Amino acid sequence: MKDIILDYANGFVSDEEILRLEPQLKTVHRILYEGKDQNVGWLNYPNEYDRKEFEMIKESAEKVRSNSEAFIVIGIGGSYLGSRAVVESISHSFYDNMVVKKNNIEIYFVGNNISGTYLKELMDVLEGKDISINVISKSGTTLEPAIAFRIFKEYMERKYGRKNSKERIYITTDKEKGVLSQIAEEEGYNRFTIPNDIGGRYSVFTPVGIFPIAVAGIDIDKLMEGAQSGVMEYSSDIIKENISYIYGAIRNILYRKGKEIEILVSYEPRLFYLQEWWKQLFGESEGKDGRGIYPSSLSLTTDLHSMGQLVQDGRRNMFETVLNVISPREDIVIRKDEKDLDNLNFLAGKSMDFVNKKAFEGTLKAHVDGGVPNLIINMPKIDEYFLGKLMYFFQKSCAVSGYLLGVNPFDQPGVEKYKKNMFELLRK
């Protein structure tokens, strides 16, 4: 397999049902490409990104890797989930434990909660280490990262002095507006730009995601190549040729049939944060006006021993989308044991990936037989190229699905309500 393929043979949706949505899909296509919404800069960004800034990001990443043992990414929501998804998916599963052996830099994510315990214990881990930080926020007023930045700014100035700390602080924010932009200007911090026409959850290919990913030593050129392939392949308005539109259409057809919950399933633990990124992308884009498919996720086979019963025999209000990785990065062959006390010699000579795939096939059959629609996204392997293409696929599908649902997939009015209540309680 050389490409990402969508298999909906077990999706309980026919080609005829999908084609009936073709007029609506063509309308959505026109809305996107005519730029009627001001937040669609992500559509062609992988082809149109600022090459000069991209090279500056590479240079800054090398500087951080040369003078720092740890890198702190301060952001929440789309300001950290995209980069964390890529770092966790591509890096060694025990990345931070491989620092000495692989000459890596430790990556830590903060500003995504308001736990003093979490932050204080991170300070304990950082004791005696050289660090750099990257603060990511379009406005600079989001409470969680703003608090974390205030604390780390003081920490850096105390550790390195105000002048020297400036060389270790990187700001990713709006080009001209916002509190963080003003701080970066006044303090003379290194800075990168968040495009005005790209929202946080669609920003993984901008400096928001690319800089931390580059610091982690991941090939950002290949990541962008994958996204570029997605731009080209998923731009057709011929629906049967565009799997991102087919996926968006199937989600809506199933929603109209009462399937209100979508579970993104993976059999690879390294994809956990990709699933978290996906949940924010679809949840924040579609959950409004009393509508929305609830995005959930399961890591199998682990969660079969906790949530499997619910999926198999619970309410029939859900469907699954399985991320199936064809070729694993590493594998282990199960060897024959002479005593066979555990009765596992029937697996001798087989790989763990082989067993994992049979678990997937068995679970798929059980859930489909139990009335749960299953979509399969087959991915050749987990590398920068295919991950970039997959994430662009999801972004495009999400925009299409949101419009078919009858909502604006690029705003988040509900998020502001909790902030208003919180600030009132804090007596701001």
Residues with active-site annotation: 284, 419
Query: Which residue do the tokens 């599908």 mark?
Result: 397
**Which of 407, 397, 413, 168 minimizes the C-alpha distance to 291?**
407
**Which of 6, 3, 2 minimizes the C-alpha distance to 397?**
6
The bridge status of strand 294-299 relative to strand 106-110 is unpaired
Q: Are 349 and 333 in contact (CB under 8 A)?
A: yes
Q: Are 70 and 246 in contact (CB under 8 A)?
A: no
- Residue 44 carries which side chain, given as an amino acid letter? N
Helix (H, G, I), strand (E, B) or coil at 108: strand
Give 235's contacts (C-beta < 8 A, 6+ positions apart). Answer: 33, 242
Q: Are 373 and 259 in contact (CB under 8 A)?
A: yes
Across the beta sheet with 70-74, the strand order is 106-110, 70-74, 131-136, 169-174, 190-194
